[in-house]
Amino acid sequence: FLQFLFHTYNTGFTLLNGNGTTKSEEDSFQQKQVLLGLGAISYAACIGAFPVFFMNRYTAKSPLTELVVRKLLHAPLLGLMSAFTVAVVRSPEFENGIEVMDRKGQVVGISKNAGEKAVRETALSRAALFGTGFFLPAVLLYFVERVNFAKTPRAFASMRMMMITGVLTVMLPVSLSIFPQCGEITRADLEPEILSSTEETVFFYNRGI
């Protein structure tokens, strides 16, 4: 259930902060977005919860298994599934294309290649945000447990929350700045039909968040 809530928020944020070029299309586009979002949320939540379910159902709860499944594997899966939901929900951007502009801000065409680049960059930045944001606290808390620094469960929970909040606070601007908001794509990477109308060598697009 918690995985479902997290990926619902992540998907909603992605829908609201996409490129927006194709939002002027008919209602079937919005219906497709909703169906893609629901499918991505359900799949990501199931994949995220599967290791813990498998461990509880079929394996012995050894300390090593607990460490790998509950603490180390959780963060990479969360980052991977976050990138997956971005790619699925924003798939119309590389299927239909997004607007590319010249240096003066004038739209020169709709490019599927630029849409693919924008979605790929956003998915990578989202994976970096949540993967690192939950992996580093898990590693730090492992050493906290080893040295018995937190004396009570309440102190340990508070320390865990503070670490996650602190790492996410640092990683949020870092992940947003990995790729510029106004992305660049070279002439060689664009479709021929766009190039026929301009002599520019570098073009720009809105990456989304």
Q: Which residues contact 139 (CB under 8 A, 6 or more apart)?
A: 71, 72
DSSP 8-state symbol, 164: H
Residues 85, 91: Cα–Cα separation, whole Å: 10
Does the pLDDT value for residue 55 go beyond 90? no
DSSP code string of 6-47: HHHHHHHHHHHTS--GGGGS-HHHHHHHHHHHHHHHHHHHHH
Does the pLDDT value for residue 164 go beyond 70? yes
In 3D, which of 6, 16, 208, 8 has the Cα closest to residue 121? 208
Token representation of residue 102: 């010249």
The residue ranges of every structural domain in the chain are 1-206
Residues 71, 53: Cα–Cα separation, whole Å: 14
Which pLDDT value is given to residue 40? 93
The residue-averaged pLDDT of 69-94 equals 87
Token representation of residue 140: 């730090």
**What letter represents residue 109's amino acid?**
G
Which pLDDT value is given to residue 112? 92
pLDDT category at 82 given cuts 50, 70, 90 is: very high
Does the pLDDT value for residue 207 go beyond 80? yes
Per residue in 26-35, pLDDT (tens digit) is 556 677 778 8
For 180, half-sphere exposure in the C-beta direction (CA atoms, 13 angstrom radius) is 6
Does the pLDDT value for residue 162 go beyond 80? yes
- 203 strand-pairing partners: 185
CB 93 within 8 A of CB 19: yes
The residue among 25 and 77 whose pLDDT is bigger is 77
Look up the pTM and report it.
0.82
DSSP 8-state symbol, 152: S
Q: Where are the extended beta strands (E) located within 40-169? A: 98-101, 107-111
Does the pLDDT value for residue 18 go beyond 90? no
Which pLDDT value is given to residue 76? 87
